[in-house]
Structure 1
Amino acid sequence: MRVCVFVKCLIVIILSSAWQFSSFQDTPNSDSYRVTISHPGSIEKGTSIGLRVIKDSNNMPSAYYAVVKSVYCYDEVCKIDPVTIYWNSIGEYLRYELPPDVYLEKYEGEAFVKTDYEKLDRILHDENSPFKDLKIDEITASYSRHIEEGIDAISGATIVDLDESSTIEGSSLTCYTLWHWANGSIKDKIQEITAKNISSNQLLHLLNNSEAYQSFAIKHLTVRKAYGEKIIRQMTAYSSQASKVNLNEFVKYAEGAPDDIYFNMIDALMPKANSKQRVSYLSSLRKTSYSIPNGYYTKLSSQLADYLNYQEVDLLISLIEDKNEINSEVLQNVFLLLDKEILVARRAYYFLINQQLNKEQSKQLNKFYKKNKDYL
């Protein structure tokens, strides 16, 4: 990256800023938004940029783009170029472009080569880049020290070590600046705009897309309190294949429903759920403030014998204890657990010894104790 004299640099900054703002003076019918975002490289509390929307054939947002500064540099003495960054409709980075007459530079004016541009794109696609947790001072402090000590300065040399694959030698400030443009707070702004311009049915269609789109769809269906019959049916069908992240989002969706819909959803989901899903649903039931329908846990207890691990068995038995829904049917279902592996069987045993049992049940429990007393 070339260090330039103050006057020359000032001209570059002014021209870059003019290019940035004039590029959004399009036709009156074009869709554009002026959004204010936070960039960790800027000394300003908020930076206003123009965000343009690209729409699909259904007039829905399909992508966004904005022109941004290529670098927030040490002492503002760097060559600053306009870079256009593209995002998809939920704010995930897609690609970047440069005007035909613009090229990026490393320290001391060395121009990017093809492999540098390709590597920059890979860096911007990495949502878990080390730049995510770095402060710009951790780059500029080392950069300043290298200049003062007369060392062959690398504006990628930071106080913390960066792997060679994580940055471009001589251009870490540019990588840092563009990574935060591509993956920073603008993502939330884009999602807000998309959510305002998309219907609930269109959100449902996103459940057939990637995990990130699914998460976006569930979150905004929850915000909208979209609990129509069709939506509930499709959401319930989707839940069986939800990832761990989206399963949590789905549970939040269910928890936001009216109480009758909430219990009906859990009731419908339980028989087909796997162990991980059952744990999520039972955990939700345990913390709900809704009044439990009569006989609800008695009905759930009939599934106990199909439960695969201790955690889900413990959760349901704890729920039955908490709600004091103990009857002959529940006891009969818990007794079936005595034939399971010892951790599960022990949980059932300590529940049963505190209950009022008939003569036959007491005999059965005593037999279990004699056989397993060394493990209880």
Structure 2
Amino acid sequence: MRKQGWLFFGWALLVYFGFPESARAAVAPPEKVREYTITENDTTSYVLKLAFDESGNPSYYFRNVFTPVCLTGECKPVYINFYWDLLGNYLRFDFPPREVLTKMDHEEFKPEDYEKLQDILSNSNSLLKDVAMEDLIGKGTENLADSVDAKAGATLKTIKNVVIDGAVYTCYTLWHLAHGSVVDEMLKITETYRTDALLHQFLNSTNHHYQYWAMERVIDQSGTVAASFSADLMQIMRAKNVFTARHALQKVNSQFFSSAERQTWLWETYTKASYPLQIAILKKLATVPFRAPLAQQTAQFLLKANPEQFKLMLNLLAAQPRLPEKAVQTLANHLTDSNADYTAEIYRVLTALKPRSPLVQHKMRIYKEAISKS
């Protein structure tokens, strides 16, 4: 009874004074949004927000923007929300309730204007990148409408296709907000959340920016991959994005494909890959000593290859310090093929290999006699 009384008393104290911070943290729901105050040029400050998913993992950034869009004599306020991925790549925009964008003549944006604005903001290499606000003001047009049809000089004519007629300054201001110094701030913040779990998430993402960022962090300068990330990289090499697949393939060192199992896997990948990736795989294999299965598979595939692939494959076989006997026999079997260009090159390689097999030597003599009679 006394023990139960003490337990009750202890519980009452917890309720009255509150749980210890560690206990509260253990039962607290996942954080949904975290705010960061960003200061630019030691004068301008704004709040950047990081949103988290239901599991408490960082998901994306957003900012509630208020900015004056200053024209040549007046400023109009713009309220808009911007969204970026975790590496600062612009995603989309939306608006607070009852807020819209207008042009210089106070005409509201039409649906097609918003679509074009999304295209403009999505282009991180826009011509707006190298344009200064002053360049948008043509001599003698200081009091004219915000229109690319005004006689505002060469700059406006150059950027006509990357802005919205009647909203040049709005497009300019919003693009620089979406792609300005805020991007560096987001990169710094995301780096503080880097964990193995986040790296796995990025490597398996459909966002190629995430994949490149993560690959730079799981593959060291020598091309060595931490064992726990090997499966992620192999998945990238087999994915549909040939650019990330080729990047992963080129970044890893030859040791990554040193085992017979990995070489068999790579050959299977080759047979299913697009042509550009097939060529990349063959070039990668130039740094990889062949195990017997890969040597045999390469030798067998020779006659099915086009001239570019054939040349790369045969050079790979010829460069091996010691080509397995089975692969040498497969090469000799190809000497009876009807493709004279291929058989001539195979015979040249076999001659350099100086095979000891009587059967291979016999097939080489038959080929040489046939060539001398033709």
Short-chain TM bin: 0.5 to 0.7
1:112 aligns with 2:108: yes
Q: In the alignment, residue 147 of structure 2 is paired with which amino acid?
A: I
One of 121, 127, 139 as aligned partner of 2:123: 127
1:61 shift after superposition:
1.0
1:334 shift after superposition:
3.3
Question: Distance between the aligned counterparts of 2:278 and 2:326, measured in 1?
Answer: 21
Question: Distance between the aligned counterparts of 1:306 and 1:133, measured in 2?
Answer: 51
- TM-score, normalised to structure 1, is 0.65
Q: 1:279 to 1:146 in 2, by over 3 A?
A: farther
Q: 1:120 to 1:98 in 2, by over 3 A?
A: farther
Query: Secondary structure at 2:248's aligned position in 1?
Result: helix
1:303 aligned residue: 297
Q: 1:208 to 1:77 in 2, by over 3 A?
A: same
1:171 aligns with 2:167: yes
- TM-score, normalised to structure 2, is 0.65
1:228 aligned residue: 227
1:94 shift after superposition:
3.0
Query: Secondary structure at 1:57's aligned position in 2?
Result: coil
Question: Distance between the aligned counterparts of 1:66 and 1:361, measured in 2?
Answer: 73
Question: Distance between the aligned counterparts of 2:46 and 2:200, measured in 1?
Answer: 31
Structure 1 stretches lacking a partner, 5+ long = 1-28, 38-43, 372-376
1:284 aligned residue: 284
1:219 aligned residue: 215
1:20 aligned residue: none
Q: 1:152 to 1:36 in 2, by over 3 A?
A: closer
Query: Secondary structure at 1:360's aligned position in 2?
Result: helix
One of 90, 94, 101 as aligned partner of 1:93: 90
Query: Secondary structure at 1:147's aligned position in 2?
Result: coil
1:350 shift after superposition:
4.5
1:79 shift after superposition:
3.8
Residues 347, 364 of structure 2: 8 Å contact kept:
no
Q: Which range moved further: 337-346 or 169-178? A: 337-346
Question: What is the root-mean-square deviation in Å for CA atoms of aligned residues?
Answer: 4.4
Q: In the alignment, residue 285 of structure 1 is paired with which amino acid?
A: L
Question: Distance between the aligned counterparts of 1:218 and 1:84, measured in 2?
Answer: 28
2:366 aligned residue: 363
2:10 aligned residue: none
Question: Distance between the aligned counterparts of 1:250 and 1:206, measured in 2?
Answer: 14
One of 247, 252, 263 as aligned partner of 2:245: 247
Number of residue pairs matched by the alignment:
323
Query: Secondary structure at 2:81's aligned position in 1?
Result: strand
Query: Secondary structure at 1:170's aligned position in 2?
Result: coil
- Listed one character per residue, the Cα deviations across residues 326-365 of structure 1 (whole Å, up to 9, x for unaligned) are 5644433334555385665554355345443634314325
- Listed one character per residue, the Cα deviations across residues 282-340 of structure 1 (whole Å, up to 9, x for unaligned) are 32233x4xxx55xx255422112225333333233333444544564443333455538
Structure number with greater CO (CA < 8 Å, separation at least 6) is 1
